[in-house]
Structure 1
Amino acid sequence: MELLSTEQQLTGIVTTGEVLGLFKDSNPLTVNQIPSRVPTGAGPTDLGGLVDDINVAGKSPADRERILVRHVQQPDGTGAWIVSIPGTAQWSPVSQENPADLTANLRLMAGMSSTLKPAVQQALSSAQRQAGVQPGSEPVMLTGHSQGGILAASMAHDPQLAKELNIREVVTFAAPVTGMALPAQVNGLDVGINGDVVHHADNQDTADRINQAQISCAAPADAANNFATHNSHGYAERAHALLGHDTDVIAAQDFYRRADGVFLGGTATTYTFELQRPS
């Protein structure tokens, strides 16, 4: 008997749950822009800075998912975009007002529709219009921790959406995204910490694709258990300590060669959005 894939198993769970009134995700999300804490400033300069932005985005009310959309402009006048997406906010199987929930995890991992994807696209397009930039005319990097990484990879996994948004880089932390193949024009970098069980939740350890690189970092000495290594602040600490510009990790060096002077450095204008399921 042929075993079902992880994606097929999750699809079965979601489909069965929907019959029982669980995992509902059909109504479009409300996308509200709020004032950014630091509207303008220096753009992120390294992988640690990308996780720091994800952590800033994660400081949101319990019933909302907050994301950062940053327009990075370089001294030569070129521009690019970084979308920072935090991880799971709540684990109830009954869909809550905060869409960063168990429902989103299962649906995204199963390759099913999720209202988070068009909501993130709406936020990005809104920020681009405010900046006077035609959507799709400047390159985009999607970054995320845990569920945020799943969402980022899922969006880029769709060739039409990746082309429409001009996605060029996907950087994920603690996200089980190895099985999500990316279009040829998109580069993926997946960062994990040894012992993080969530990072391997897709049961696939190696992406055998030239445009998807993986980095495994040693766990912090003070990590109490496997779940402690999953914390986004721990990922920020590891990235700052091990994956700066002076790193000897080849995948990180390759990333910096692509991202420096495009997505990293320069001056950033930040647009902050909150996503919420209608009551």
Structure 2
Amino acid sequence: MTAPPPIAIYGGPAGVAANEQDLAMAHTVMTTVRAHLDRAITLLNNVLTSVDGLYYAAQYHRMTFPEDPTTRSLLTDQVMATYPSILEDVTTQRHHLTECAHDTDGLAHAVFVASLEYTRAHRLSLGFTQSTTVHILVEPPEAHWYSLAAIPAGAATSLAFGVPHRADQAVTLRSRLNTTPLLDAPVVTHAGDVARLASDIDAASTVLVTQEYLTANGDTVTVVFIPGTQAGMDQFYDPTEPRNHASNVMLMGTNPHAPARVLFTEALASVTEPGDRVILAGHSQGGILAHQALHDEALRSRIEVRGVVTYGAPVGGFRGDDDVPTIHYENVDDVVPLLDASLPPDGVNRVTVRGHTPELDGSAHSMPGYAQIADAALTSGDPSHAGVHGAIFAPLAGATLLRSTAVTWKSNEDKSPGTQVRSK
């Protein structure tokens, strides 16, 4: 039996709780340090007062008894010169300690403000049980160079490619979509199932896979999976081949008219109704689309997003939504999640799972590897992953699969209109 891949998990309620406790401890330590600094400053002030008093007393004694042999032998010019030197040294040390005290005050205030932010985050924590577990993430340093220019390149290319795709000139791809039932699709109950479902589809021609479930309480929830990049570099500049690398760079620049976004929006509209509850899951480019959908006002006003799951997607630089639980699965050997030059931020409902699949043959960017990482996270018992994962997938436990649908599209080689067959 293959051993589960090693994983690191951070973010979520347990990570936030651990950070909050660390901040509280740091604030306590800084308060203690400030008390010690105040005591040291007080002692130095006492030393200054004493040395200053001794100096003036010695001067007075030398003036009063200038011919006294004992006075002349004890209070020589050399001895008298040490008093100002001592005063200068003690004054300098007091100045340094005072600066340290002020710096400590500033740090303590910053830590206190950060503590307030984490306390606010806990009020949004979806009722999860808090944990003291600290999750440590070790980032492989050799991977950083891949991501240095990704965001500037994304913004620049977004401007360059976005000019022909203003709202009044947007490319429409709806006529090339075709919606058909997906037969013998497996039931999905957790993130690993979604990855295995994705492994079995023809990603080259599939835009979306949707599965509609009837939950135990009578609600309907639709799982939507979005595959990743498919077109090759030869179609880099073709806006009518939307799932290419040009779209990737435009998406990194958050261009709302990126061809891949147009395709995703039109495909999703063809298989959902207003008010539908959906779980959005995506691989690579599909993960970008799923996560950026959190800030698509038109989409959010039409459907209710119950959760977002990404696999191998560079989404760390994109802000999340405090009201939507989100999980990011990343393979440490996969360069794609690094392309936005940042890791997903710590959040009470945003969890990142990073794994390593050395025993798996094939690309580190492949979905079978991500299925293993998702399974390992689920069996780890980690409270952050369990809480956020449960918020997304718990309604599917015991649910009945009503229908599965594949939305496919025709490439430039065949632009004949696809038959619009609604699955509902």
Equivalent residue, structure 1, for 2:280: 142
Is the partner of 2:200 in helix, strand or coil? helix
CA 1:263 to 1:97, structure 2 compared with 1: closer, same or farther past 3 Å?
A: farther
CA distance in 2 between partners of 1:160 and 1:210 (Å): 26
1:199-232 CA-to-partner distances (Å, cap 9, x unmatched) read 11111024133332111112233457xxx21112
CA separation in 1, counterparts of 2:159 and 2:351?
A: 32
**Structure 1 segment 1-279 matched on structure 2, within 5 A:** 6-16=150-160, 26-30=170-174, 31-38=176-183, 43-57=187-201, 59-61=202-204, 64-92=205-233, 93-95=236-238, 98-112=241-255, 113-128=257-272, 134-136=273-275, 138-222=276-360, 228-240=363-375, 242-244=376-378, 246-263=379-396, 265-268=398-401, 269-276=403-410
Structure 1 regions of 5+ residues with no counterpart? 20-24, 129-133
Rounded Cα–Cα distance in structure 2 between residues aligned with 1:18 and 1:119: 15
CA distance in 1, matches of 2:346, 2:410: 36
SS of 2:395 mapped into structure 1:
coil
The DSSP-based 3-state class of the residue aligned with 2:357 is coil
Deviations 1:51-92 (A, max 9, x none): 1222334x155xx44311221112332111111011111232
1:96 positional shift: 6.7
Letter matched to residue 364 of structure 2: T
| Corresponding residue SS for 1:80 | strand
The one-letter amino acid of 1:35's match is: T
Give the structure with the higher percent helix.
2
Aligned residues between the structures: 257
* 3-state SS of 1:126 partner: helix
Say if 2:243 and 2:259, in contact at 8 Å, map to a contact too: no
RMSD, aligned CA: 2.9
**C-alpha spacing 1:220/1:179, structure 2 compared with 1 (3 Å):** same
Whether the 8 Å CA contact 1:65–1:98 is kept in 2: the answer is no
- 159-168 or 184-193, which deviates more: 159-168
Report the TM-score, using the length of structure 1 for normalisation: 0.79
Q: Which amino acid aligns with 1:189?
A: I
Once the two structures are TM-superposed, the CA of residue 159 in structure 1 deviates from its matched residue by 4.5
Larger RCO of the pair (alpha carbons < 8 Å, separation 6+)? 1
Do the aligned residues in 2 keep the contact of 1:143 with 1:170 (CA within 8 Å)?
A: yes
Task: Please identify the structure whose Cα radius of gyration is greater.
Answer: 2
- Alpha-carbon spacing, 1:50–1:222, altered in 2? closer, same or farther (3 Å): closer
Distance 1:160 1:5, change over 3 A: farther
Q: Which has the higher strand share?
A: 1
| Structure 2: runs of 5+ lacking an equivalent | 1-147, 164-168, 416-424
Kept in 1, the 8 Å contact 2:306–2:392? The answer is no
Normalised to the residue count of structure 2, the TM-score between the two structures is 0.54
Secondary structure of residue in 1 paired with 2:181 = coil
